[in-house]
Structure 1
């Protein structure tokens, strides 16, 4: 499994280097960076809770190919009892997204989650996507593909479940900009195991941002995750600042 992860990440790294090197001879290369620091605090006479939600995303793109890396960490406590300690990192690429209505994508993802009882999980695969809308101020995309998943889960506190499966991964992604001030965007995944009908994952993230500057915004984020195999789910609402820059 470790060999597969090394191969996928090495392939993506070589593609980034190739894209950057070729930029000076063909179409220009564009770079992207985004960082958000969100959270929530609740304190009363009966108790207290807090949640920290930090995320970043970086990317490099040309006319025909785009590559991105992202990561996130969520930590939460309620009355001094840990509720969240969730980490995720991923790399993805898209081919012909900017020039065709139908394009190709690939993904490698690793995550750990205290709240969802994920000790280790790796997903890697690819598929095709369709741009329903792709214009300034309005973007809507549907995608589908096959992912290989290797997981180490906790069914109970002391019962480990180590297994692998292939999943169908369906995604809805969108972004809408209203009057160059309000941004609504989100990504929503449904991932069904191809071998076990009751084994599915749901991951949904929705964002509402109000621009203070071109590069700075106030953001509210709603995230929902469900892992049916462990019968665990979480719903996170957080707000804070987002820094976003194209260069």
Structure 2
């Protein structure tokens, strides 16, 4: 909870300060609550995923804050208790094909055996397409990662690493009815390519209103340092609003 409060405070503070420089400020908010339930004669399982994202933007700079929490059980045993929060910015994204980005990210994950992990870094990105209904961007840069992982239940792996962070992001909107989007990360250690993080998020939304959609999402995570991976498929509702 402290990490969530810190993220919201930082975003609120930055957004308030940012708004003092220009009247042409735009705001964005998104909240999704999705999950799945499975019950059979042999047992039951459920998964709940909550995600929020808020943003402040003007012509040359965009500032975003986001957070997510995934909780799941299977036959009474904990399978997921995964938390993530991040703060990122993009500079000149709306006015240039080549722009700059920076981020800070914090994770805890029961399923991936991450006790604590912090990442911070920056880089450049290139917009191949950037229109209202079509978006495709590729970015690359370097991040510093400080982690505390569980190799075994009582054995910790505490480390520092510098990683290359490569990302592909896209979004396609069809007749304002269907939205398909995805973000994919590959983050190898610059001194050991066998030590890498992999994350892939894909979703499809069927718009009921401009601000309300039925959403199905598939997320894949892999951390080779712990030898853990997970695949999450959820469905539910998404609320999205531009101001």
Interval containing the TM-score (normalised by the shorter chain): over 0.9
**Aligned: 1:100 with 2:96:** yes
Q: How many residues align?
A: 238
Q: Which residue of 2 aligns with 1:181?
A: 177
Counterpart CA distance in 1 for 2:41 and 2:95 is 57
Unpaired segments ≥5 residues, structure 1: 1-5
Q: Name the residue aligned to 1:199.
A: 195
Structure 1 residues 150 and 106 mapped into 2: Cα distance closer, same or farther (>3 Å)?
same
| 1:16 to partner: Cα distance | 3.3
Deviations 1:147-194 (A, max 9, x none): 000000001111100001000000000000011100000100000101
Correspondence for 2:205: 209
Alignment of 1:14-33 (within 5 A): 15-24=14-23, 28-33=24-29
Tell me by how many angstroms 1:12 deviates.
7.2
Identify unmatched segments of 5+ residues in structure 2. 1-5
SS at match of 1:19: helix
Moved over 6 A (4+): 8-14
Provide the residue aligned with 2:59 in structure 1.
63
2: distance between equivalents of 1:135 and 1:230? 40
RMSD: 1.7
Rounded to whole Å, the distance in 2 between the matches of 1:99 and 1:50 is: 44
Query: Secondary structure in 1 aligned to 2:235?
Result: strand
Report the TM-score when normalising by structure 1. Answer: 0.93
What TM-score, normalized by structure 2, do the two folds share? 0.95
